């Protein structure tokens, strides 16, 4: 866990620390990074954020290590709000892709690019996508616990002997993870979201 010697109770949650750091940085730099029609400022700020990672003592798993991926999302936001044109979007995305490749890995850069382009250009209106989007945070919170538990139980029932059986096992784990996430969303996340809205009023 960042700033402590303790390990995460759930290893998947390490991204929450990165996300929290991002909110702090974004809150400080939002007006600078997202000034209309100043893409050069956006790129410059994110370049500096990426370079901070190389300052001695600031390496490791922190926001600055992954800032290029967050910048891909911010750039896509600017594009969707029509604050930059297509040419600026793709040219800046190429720079951020290179930064992610160099600073993190090619796999991370490809996934960041694929996700950004999907958000920017693909419109999925199917009810399944809306459902998965609604429970997506609950999936994030619970998928490791539910999926690994189902995998453990299945491994005691039968040992997959073929690729098809492996695939079936994975599908079952994914589906049960979604079921578990929906239960968590209905019983925990949704009630607390409603409570937060009431308290805000």
For 25-80, the pLDDT digits (tens) are 877 877 776 665 577 777 777 777 777 777 776 666 677 888 888 889 888 988 88
User: Does 94 lie in the same domain as 77?
Assistant: yes
Q: Do 34 and 95 sit in the same domain of this protein?
A: yes
∠ CA 37-39-45, rounded to 5°: 130
199 vs 187, higher pLDDT: 187
Claim to verify: residue 46 and residue 88 sit in the same structural domain: yes
Which residue in 111, 84, 113 sits closest to 96, CA to CA?
113
More reliable by pLDDT, 198 or 33: 198
Structure tokens at 191: 């009630």
Write down which residue in 75, 100, 121 finishes a domain: 121
Residue 180 · residue 142 · CB < 8 Å: yes
Cα 45 to chain centroid distance, Å, stands at 21
Distance CA 107, CA 79 (A): 24
Residue 112 and residue 16 in one domain: yes
User: In this structure, how many other beta carbons lie within 10 angstroms of the beta carbon of residue 18?
Assistant: 18
φ/ψ (deg, to 5) at 58: -110, 10
- 99 and 22 in a single domain? The answer is yes
Question: What is the reported pTM?
Answer: 0.71
Across the chain, mean pLDDT equals: 83
Question: How many structural domains are present in the chain?
Answer: 2
Query: Of the residues 121, 139, 165, which one is the last residue of a structural domain?
Result: 121
Q: pLDDT of 71-105, one tens digit each?
A: 898 889 888 888 888 998 999 899 889 988 988 89
Residues 6+ apart with CB under 8 A from 44: none
What does 15-59 look like in DSSP terms, one character per residue? HHHHHHHHHHHHHHHHHHHT-TT-HHHHHHHHHHHHHHTTSTT--
Cα(first)–Cα(last) distance of the chain, in Å? 35
Does position 2 have pLDDT exceeding 80, yes or no? no
| Pair 30, 117 in one domain | yes
Q: Do 94 and 147 belong to one domain?
A: no
Domain boundary among 64, 95, 121: 121
Q: Are 153 and 176 in contact (CB under 8 A)?
A: no
The Cβ-side half-sphere exposure at 28, using a 13 Å CA radius, reads 7
Domain presence at residue 167: yes
Same domain for 179 and 92: no
Residue 182 belongs to domain spanning: 127-200
């Amino acid at each position: 866990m960042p700033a402590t010697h303790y390990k995460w109770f759930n290893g998947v949650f390490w991204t929450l620390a990165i996300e929290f750091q991002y909110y702090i940085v974004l809150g400080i730099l939002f007006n600078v990074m997202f000034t209309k029609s100043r893409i050069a400022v956006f790129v410059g700020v994110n370049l500096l954020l990426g370079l901070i990672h190389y300052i001695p003592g600031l390496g490791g798993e922190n926001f600055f290590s992954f800032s290029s991926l967050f910048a891909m999302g911010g750039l896509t936001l600017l594009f969707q709000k029509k604050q930059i044109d297509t040419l600026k979007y793709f040219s800046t995305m190429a720079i951020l892709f290179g930064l992610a490749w160099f600073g993190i890995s090619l796999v991370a850069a490809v996934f960041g690019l694929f996700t950004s382009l999907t958000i920017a250009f693909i419109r999925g209106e199917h009810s399944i996508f809306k459902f998965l989007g609604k429970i997506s945070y609950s999936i994030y919170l619970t998928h490791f616990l539910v999926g690994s538990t189902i995998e453990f139980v299945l491994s005691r029932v039968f040992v997959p002997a073929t690729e098809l059986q492996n695939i079936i096992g994975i599908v079952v784990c994914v589906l049960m993870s979604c079921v578990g996430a929906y239960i968590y969303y209905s019983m925990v996340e949704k009630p607390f979201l409603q409570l937060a809205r009431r308290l805000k009023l």
